[in-house]
Amino acid sequence: MAHKTGSVPGVVVDLGIVYLPERPFIVAAMINWLLDSDQAEQAISHLSLAAYRYFDRLANSNLYGHKKSKGDRTLFYILYNILSSP
């Protein structure tokens, strides 16, 4: 994971790159008009956790939304290689 934070009075910004295996993603948040920067950081934390759970579920699901087994991944790569070869 890599991230960069920033703030000025009344504004909190955070940008993160999450290197989730098979499903990396980027989260960017800017929160303003708050009197309490701790609330902003907590909101960004909740947003980041929701994004992580979503992309983790995608990375570990097959085309039908079911949890992948090792066989699903193997079959996926076999079919992908067959269909993408000239």
Hey, where are the domains in the chain? 2-84
Question: What pLDDT, on the 0 to 100 scale, is given for residue 39?
Answer: 87
Distance, in Å, from the CA atom of 57 to the CA atom of 48, rounded to the nearest integer, reads 14
37 versus 49: the higher-pLDDT residue is 49
**Number of Cβ within a 10 Å radius of residue 64:** 6
Residues of the chain above pLDDT 90, percent: 17
pLDDT given for residue 80 in this prediction? 61
Supply the pLDDT for residue 79: 62
Residue identified by tokens 């703030």 is 7
Q: How confident is the model at residue 33 (pLDDT cuts 50, 70, 90)?
A: confident
Q: What's the N-to-C CA distance of the chain in angstroms?
A: 36
pLDDT tens track for 59-86: 888 777 777 766 555 555 566 666 666 6
The answer to whether 53 and 46 have CB atoms below 8 angstroms apart is: no
